[in-house]
Amino acid sequence: MDTPLLTVKNVKTYYPVKTGFMNLQTSYVRAVDDVSFEIYEGETLGLVGESGCGKSTLGRTIIGLEPLTDGEILFDGKPMNFRTDRVSLSKQIQIVFQDPYSSLNPRLTIGDLLAEPLTVHNIVPRNEIQQEVTRLLQLVGLSETAKARYPHEFSGGQRQRIGIARALALRPRLIICDEPVSALDVSIQAQIMNLFKQLQRELGLTYLFIAHGLGAVKYISDRIAVMYAGKIVEMGTAEQIFKNPQHEYTKKLLGAYPIPDPTKRSILTQQ
């Protein structure tokens, strides 16, 4: 079997709780508590859970934005160390955030926003940067005219496309998608989901797709992990999770989802 692209082994992210006299540390918040999984090249792992279950913290820990309390994260079989390899790792792993309104610098034009990572990491020679920016914009379905405009001139869906273009600029192998469609309208969500799928086909990307809705995750994931209170309670292929959920919490989550069909009112009939 191949080496997994990403291996997460017994990862824990704890935050100390300090209270009372002299700010003594009394306990921990166990945001991520002993989580392990693997993602293979070209695969999409969906990570589902409700707010506060630690799914975003896990995503941020993998990309080095939160400190790792305990455990090990391997990328391409090698242990990751953000202190020494930040530059080379950030070329391999990128993140797309939930809120396209706050994740783009409002003072930079789209052209500058996309050129910045290219310059910092020397991805293309200086004289080819403009060409590369155009290519990135076209990749996510925007036109070249976007270059001179500022983030506020774009709608939510368009901004999320810009966020994706920026993540793609460094030609990463793994993209962590932290609820990338939650803030968007239904019809726009479908556009962005289709874009993620198309990019995966074209560029052979690997995704860790974090979401609170099972609908979106089912559509894009090969495998799904369900997270509850810092732990993964169930993991399996998308088909297994939807057709034959094993854990009580997964069943509850599936049952709570309103079905868009008035002839099958499940929520009002069940107690």
Residues near other proteins, by CB under 8 A: 50-51, 155-158, 185-191, 193-194, 212-216, 218-219, 238-239, 242-243, 252-268, 271
Question: Shortest approach of other proteins to residue 178 CB, angstroms?
Answer: 17
**What's the DSSP call for residue 147?**
G
Complex with other proteins: residue 127 or 263, whichever CB lies closer = 263
Question: Shortest approach of other proteins to residue 179 CB, angstroms?
Answer: 13
> Hey, is 7 helix, strand or coil?
strand
Cβ atoms 81, 56 nearer than 8 A: no
Phi, psi of 136 (to 5 degrees): -60, -45
What gap in Å lies between CA 108 and CA 159, rounded to an integer?
Answer: 13
- Rounded to a whole number, what is the largest CA-CA distance in the chain? 65
What gap in Å lies between CA 155 and CA 158, rounded to an integer?
Answer: 5
Complex with other proteins: residue 103 or 182, whichever CB lies closer = 182
**What's the DSSP call for residue 226?**
E
Complex with other proteins: residue 119 or 155, whichever CB lies closer = 155
Question: Shortest approach of other proteins to residue 109 CB, angstroms?
Answer: 20
Complex with other proteins: residue 144 or 239, whichever CB lies closer = 239
Question: Shortest approach of other proteins to residue 114 CB, angstroms?
Answer: 21
